[in-house]
């Protein structure tokens, strides 16, 4: 169905762009609010969940080579149940994509352009995403290869440049909070890391599929380290409690950069990282929901579904939340259950167990 082919490196880069972005907006706040100065530990622990998910999704993909999860769900669960679960998954892709879009446009509205209507940001990013997806997976995966570098450098600059405001003693005492609490709050960051399961939809489009699991595990771990560095920098600048009191702590951190009175007001770095990175994230979610829809109904092509689904995503994004308080509440309380504990880890794990059980029965008989 997907005519284009991407390389393993392009997949790894695409997943990196997805995992690094939008997390930088909410995670520092939620992490610091839950476990204060130990927030960076939860960012690291989140990678452990991510590794589990990579292993499960790759194991399933090995069983059904050349098929996406939407295609092999009916093979595992039977046609009616599999199609229904597939449809639910497609809705999940669409709704999480809508959350990302909303997060992105509210950030821009709150921090940079408060008087500009949401529709402006919405239309620009969605028109761009639609245009990119129409040009095919291959083309936007390649663009990402070029732009990911800019995103990572911009974020790394914000982590490093406020160095004279950082007081690392604010990170002590280390691991003050009980391990249970640390693991529980690592589920929030683990849920974001779990977006790696979108790789399942992209694996059939790979030209070669040899090192995918190794690549993805490396990506998950490196992104974990990167985000931990971000948390360390944020907490060292503000302290555990004040970091949790800010809406966008990492953005506030970028505003603290002032080097030799010349490099001042560099919050634009965050906006660069966010606009470029979120674009690919939205593309990935929109692509997966479109491809999934086509596969549920057995269409030969999916391009004609792009426009309606783009519009649907806009509608969902505009109507899901009133504002940041609701979004933050969702991310802190609902998101782990909606992602890690259901669609990202638990359901794929159950599916894999069913597959294992089945194959053992087949072997016995």
Minimum separation from the CB atom of position 37 to other proteins (A): 10
> Binding of other proteins at residue 136 (CB under 8 A)?
no
- What six digits make up the tokens of 250? 């990492």
Task: Among 55, 63, 124, 136, indicate the residue that binds other proteins (CB under 8 A).
Answer: 124
> Binding of other proteins at residue 67 (CB under 8 A)?
no
> Binding of other proteins at residue 241 (CB under 8 A)?
yes
Could you give the C-alpha distances from 6 to 2, 53, 203, 287, 354, in angstroms and in order? 10, 22, 9, 14, 30
Task: Among 48, 75, 84, 112, indicate the residue that binds other proteins (CB under 8 A).
Answer: 112
Cross-strand bridge partners of residue 206: 6
| Size of residue set near other proteins by CB under 8 A | 30
Burial class (CB in 10 A: 0-12, 13-18, 19+), 293: buried
> Binding of other proteins at residue 240 (CB under 8 A)?
yes
Distance CA 281, CA 285 (A): 6
Comparison of 172 and 362: residue with beta carbon closer to other proteins: 172
The contacts of residue 271 (CB under 8 Å, 6+ apart) are: 108, 111, 112
Question: Which one of 59-67, 95-103, 114-122, 299-307 is the stretch in contact with other proteins (CB under 8 A)?
Answer: 114-122
Site for other proteins in 275-334 (CB under 8 A): none
Task: Among 9, 88, 116, 211, indicate the residue that binds other proteins (CB under 8 A).
Answer: 116
Site for other proteins in 165-184 (CB under 8 A): 165, 167, 169-170, 172-173, 176
Query: Please, what's the b/e burial string for 224-244 (b: 16 or more CB within 10 A of its CB; e: otherwise)?
Result: bebbbbbbbbbbbbbbbebbb
- Contact string 69-108 vs other proteins (x = CB under 8 A): ----------------------------------------
Q: Tell how many helices (H) and how many strands (E) occur in the chain.
A: 17, 2
Phi (first) and psi of residue 136, to 5 degrees:
105, 150
Distance CA 305, CA 294 (A): 8
Comparison of 14 and 34: residue with beta carbon closer to other proteins: 34
Distance CA 169, CA 240 (A): 11
> Binding of other proteins at residue 115 (CB under 8 A)?
yes
Residues that bind other proteins (CB under 8 A): 110-117, 120, 124, 165, 167, 169-170, 172-173, 176, 237-242, 245-246, 252, 255-256, 258, 261
């Amino acid at each position: 169905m997907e005519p284009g082919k991407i390389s393993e490196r392009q997949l790894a880069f695409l997943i990196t762009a997805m995992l690094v972005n939008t997390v930088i907006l909410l995670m520092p706040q939620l992490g610091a609010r839950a476990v204060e100065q130990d927030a960076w530990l939860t960012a690291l622990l989140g990678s452990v969940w991510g590794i589990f998910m990579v292993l499960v999704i790759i194991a399933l993909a090995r069983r059904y080579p050349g098929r996406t999860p939407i295609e092999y769900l009916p093979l595992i669960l039977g046609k009616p149940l599999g199609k229904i679960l597939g449809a639910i998954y497609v809705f999940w892709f669409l709704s999480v994509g809508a959350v990302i879009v909303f997060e992105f446009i509210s950030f821009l509205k709150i921090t940079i352009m408060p008087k500009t209507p949401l529709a402006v940001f919405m239309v620009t990013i969605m028109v761009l995403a639609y245009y990119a997806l129409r040009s095919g997976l291959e083309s936007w995966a390649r663009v990402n290869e070029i732009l990911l570098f800019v995103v990572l450098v911009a974020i790394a600059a914000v982590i490093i440049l406020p160095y004279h405001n950082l007081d690392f003693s604010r990170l002590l005492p280390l691991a003050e909070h009980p391990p249970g609490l640390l693991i529980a709050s690592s589920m929030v960051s683990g849920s974001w890391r779990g977006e790696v399961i979108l790789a399942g939809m992209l694996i059939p489009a790979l030209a070669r599929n040899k090192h995918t699991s190794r690549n993805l595990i490396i990506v998950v771990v490196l992104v974990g380290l990167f985000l931990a560095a971000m948390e360390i920098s944020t907490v060292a600048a503000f302290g555990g409690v004040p970091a949790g009191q800010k809406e966008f702590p990492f953005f506030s951190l970028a505003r603290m950069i002032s080097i030799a009175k010349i490099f001042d007001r560099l919050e634009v770095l965050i906006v660069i990282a966010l606009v470029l990175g979120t674009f690919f994230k939205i593309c990935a979610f929109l692509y997966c929901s479109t491809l999934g829809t086509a596969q549920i109904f057995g269409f030969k092509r999916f391009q004609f579904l792009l426009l309606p689904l783009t519009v649907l995503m806009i509608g969902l994004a505009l109507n899901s939340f009133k504002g940041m308080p609701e979004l933050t509440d969702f991310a802190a309380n609902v998101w782990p259950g909606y992602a890690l504990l259901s669609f990202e880890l638990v359901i794929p794990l159950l599916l894999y167990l069913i597959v294992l059980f089945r194959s053992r029965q087949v072997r016995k008989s």
